[in-house]
């Protein structure tokens, strides 16, 4: 177990439908200069969250990361093409003992994010 107590969570809410975004695929990458390494992949549950932290305390390291939300797969119905497809969110975690929470508020034509708690 790492000496760090930090971890990363996310939560996706479908603001058009007014509900959590269930079964949305998310990937997490660690960025090191031009090198991008996938370190996690998960599907959101019925509450729009991953079942466990997408980056748990035992794997947590400070640095630059990218969450990739596969919105097109979630938003598209019956193979319909959507305006939003892949949503990458890049951010930096600098505090080794902090909980980082990166929520995504999603609609068919826009999204927003912030550092949550």
Q: Give the model confidence (pLDDT) of 58-107 as tens digits.
A: 999 999 999 999 999 998 865 677 899 999 999 999 999 999 999 999 99
pLDDT value of position 1: 42
C-alpha 86/C-alpha 70 separation (Å) is 5
Interatomic CA distance for residues 8 and 81, integer angstroms:
31
Residue 50 confidence (pLDDT) above 80 = yes
Q: What ranges in the chain are assigned the alpha helix state H? A: 71-75
The torsion of the CA quartet 17, 20, 21, 26, rounded to 10 degrees, works out to: 150
The model's pTM is 0.92
Nearest alpha-carbon partner for 106 in 78, 85, 92: 85
Query: Is-contact 109 18, C-beta < 8 A?
Result: no
Q: By three-state DSSP, how is residue 3 classified?
A: coil
3-state percent breakdown (helix, strand, coil) of the chain, nearest 5: 5, 50, 45
């Amino acid at each position: 177990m790492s000496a760090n107590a930090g971890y990363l969570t996310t939560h996706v809410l479908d603001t058009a439908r007014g509900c959590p975004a269930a079964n949305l695929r998310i990937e997490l990458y660690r960025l090191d200069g031009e090198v991008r390494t996938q370190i996690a992949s998960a599907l959101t549950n019925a509450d729009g969250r991953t079942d466990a932290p997408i980056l748990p305390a035992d794997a947590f390291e400070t640095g630059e990361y990218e969450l990739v939300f596969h919105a097109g797969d979630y938003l598209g119905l019956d193979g319909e093409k959507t305006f939003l497809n892949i949503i990458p969110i890049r951010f930096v975690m600098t505090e080794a003992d902090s909980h980082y929470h990166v929520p995504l508020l999603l609609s068919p034509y826009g999204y927003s994010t912030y550092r949550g708690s």
